[in-house]
Amino acid sequence: MSVQSQVVIIGGEGDLAFRKLYPALYSLDCEGMLADATRVFAFGRGRFEEQDFIDEVRRWVDASEYTDAIDETVWQRFSARMIRFVGDATAAESYTRLREQVGEGDRVIYLSTPPSIFSPICQALDDAGFVTPATRIVVEKPLGESRASFEEIDSHIKSVFDEQQIYRIDHYLGKETAQNLLALRFANVFFEPLWNRHYIDHVQITAAESIGVGGRWSFYDEAGALRDMVQNHLLQLLCLVSMEPPAKNRPDFVRDEKLKVLRCLKPVQAHDVGDVTVRGQYAQGRVEDESVPGYAQEQDAKSTRSNTETFVAIKAEIENTRWQGVPFYLRTGKRLAQRRLEIIIQFKPVVHKFFDSVGGNLSANQLVIRLQPNEGVELEIVNKVPGLTEQTRLQGVDLDLSFAEVFDAHRAPSAYERLLLDVMRADQTLFMRSDELCAAWDWVDGILQGWQTNGQPVANYASGSWGPSESVDLLARDRRRWFDHQ
Ligand code: BG6
């Protein structure tokens, strides 16, 4: 069913808007999800002339990996929805003018701007009387650099909007496979009974990127991998994997369960931060057959002596009945061997060694949830190798379910399509609540403080590798290893 909202994108001439938001809105239009009356107001400073702006939108829609060749009928309809609005986003006068054009009814305001101006924007919206009960606001990371700074940013938003009107985006929650995790766990009978410390040995969550940080070095150097990827994306995935089944598929039921997980994370402190975390920084190397510079040699690097981590590995523990003693190994990094986002659930071996004289290693079952690329689910099952050998030979064999093959008639929407549609439908399930972010920051702040107290250095790793050797040691100390099957 199509939804009718007036969408205002503040920062409408910015990178995120062109790369992600307009292509996502165009795709929603292709799917018939936008009502005839829906308009998209691209609020900017007037960097582009009208026609240049539309051409630029078209260029990005065309380039998006989620759109096929442009459908001219849809494009005519979509481009007619796009209204360029020039103004100062921090001035109430702009919103008084905008109000005339937007009219009454549902409004979605997307802040695609740095958080440093969220406060004056909210103030101006309020002063202009732009915020009605049917107005929702969408905000993007980075939402703070610590709990204190998050709370400060959040307080400005909350002074104008109620929690029910605030949509804090974590685009990982919009990925199809992240949502499929809920289907996998709660719509199948065979996983949930095993989903606990009795049957699961450990969990690995890897978000590996082959790209570097070139182009946004200064921003990244202030943030680092822990704030950029772990505080939000990896912790949200960890929550989906480990939360208790929510009573119903309703926003606050799901968010309550995620919050409980975050509150159960074992705090990391100065005395153990060196044992359970690894920091790395990429040096020069080769990625996908191309020679690439190290972090400190990137063209826009401002320092050759930065101590910012571009890689982090963490052994996280959830202190509750379900997960006591089951480590969750989290790992993310830039310029790694491959782009790969996956979750591996490693089950324990069978208890009774029926096959006491098997040839080869008797592996335990493994469930691999591939979020990107080649989204799918793989289940490794132990089988007998056919043959007449005296000794039974066993081997792990993959039941491999590639979504592209199984659901070939269905287009997988981008994360932003899903999330924009949910905002228009006023569904907060896939958005983070304020208390969730506070709990996530509490845990991350502990690690940051530990690093600072101990002056924990970054270990160099060659671009194109799987990170520093200390990351291998982190698991080796527990007699485990990362599953880096190529
Ligand atoms: C962003 C981070 O939130 O996520 C980037 O700021 C990172 O550093 C990106 O590259 C990864 O997103 P995706 O969807 O490509 O995995």
Has residue 340 got a pLDDT over 90? yes
Residues 208 and 104 in one domain: no
Domain boundary (117, 140, 163) is at: 140
CATH code for position 339: 3.30.360.10
What percent of the chain is modeled with pLDDT above 90? 81
Residues 220 and 352 in one domain: yes
> Does residue 482 form part of some domain?
no
Pairing between β-strand 277-283 and β-strand 311-317 as defined by DSSP bridges: antiparallel
Task: Give residue 358's pLDDT band: very low, low, confident or very high (50, 70, 90).
Answer: low
Task: Give residue 352's pLDDT band: very low, low, confident or very high (50, 70, 90).
Answer: confident
pTM score: 0.94
More confident residue, 471 or 180: 471
Domain boundary (118, 140, 162) is at: 140
CA proximity to 339, closest of 486, 230, 169: 486
Q: Is-contact 89 117, C-beta < 8 A? A: yes
More confident residue, 382 or 360: 382
Task: Using the atom order of ligand 1, give the atom closest to the CA of residue 233.
Answer: 3
Q: Whose CA is nearest to atom 4 of ligand 1?
A: 229
> Does residue 168 form part of some domain?
no
pLDDT in tens, 137-160: 999 988 999 999 999 999 999 999
Has residue 362 got a pLDDT over 70? no
185 exposed, middle or buried (CB, 10 Å; 0-12, 13-18, 19+)?
A: middle
Task: Using the atom order of ligand 1, give the atom closest to the CA of residue 171.
Answer: 14
CATH code for position 59: 3.40.50.720
Has residue 366 got a pLDDT over 60? yes
Q: How far apart are CA 433 and CA 440, in angstroms?
A: 11
Residues 185 and 122 in one domain: no
> Does residue 164 form part of some domain?
no
Residues 109 and 35 in one domain: yes
> Does residue 157 form part of some domain?
no
Task: Using the atom order of ligand 1, give the atom closest to the CA of residue 341.
Answer: 16
Active-site residues, by number, are 233
376 exposed, middle or buried (CB, 10 Å; 0-12, 13-18, 19+)?
A: buried
> Does residue 319 form part of some domain?
yes
- Mean pLDDT of all residues in 426-452: 97
- Mean pLDDT of all residues in 218-239: 96
Task: Give residue 486's pLDDT band: very low, low, confident or very high (50, 70, 90).
Answer: very low
Q: Is-contact 374 407, C-beta < 8 A? A: no
Residues 243 and 383 in one domain: yes
Q: How far apart are CA 144 and CA 130, in angstroms?
A: 26
Tell which one of 206, 233, 374 to mutate to probe ligand 1, the residue whose CB is within 8 A of the most ligand atoms.
Answer: 233
Query: Which pLDDT score is estimated for 392?
Result: 80
Has residue 409 got a pLDDT over 50? yes
- Pocket lining: 209 vs ligand 1, CB cutoff 6 Å: yes
- Mean pLDDT of all residues in 10-29: 96
Task: Give residue 357's pLDDT band: very low, low, confident or very high (50, 70, 90).
Answer: low
Has residue 122 got a pLDDT over 80? yes
Tell me how many domains the chain contains.
2
- Mean pLDDT of all residues in 155-179: 94
Query: Which pLDDT score is estimated for 444?
Result: 98
What is the domain range of residue 237?
A: 173-412+433-477
Q: Whose CA is nearest to atom 14 of ligand 1?
A: 172
Residues 212 and 329 in one domain: yes
Has residue 485 got a pLDDT over 60? no
CA angle 57, 62, 68 (to 5 degrees): 140
Has residue 251 got a pLDDT over 80? yes
Tell which one of 229, 231, 340 to mutate to probe ligand 1, the residue whose CB is within 8 A of the most ligand atoms.
Answer: 229
Residues 121 and 204 in one domain: no
Q: Whose CA is nearest to atom 15 of ligand 1?
A: 209
- CA end-to-end span of the chain: 42
Q: Is-contact 104 3, C-beta < 8 A? A: no
> Does residue 112 form part of some domain?
yes
pLDDT in tens, 125-137: 999 999 999 999 9
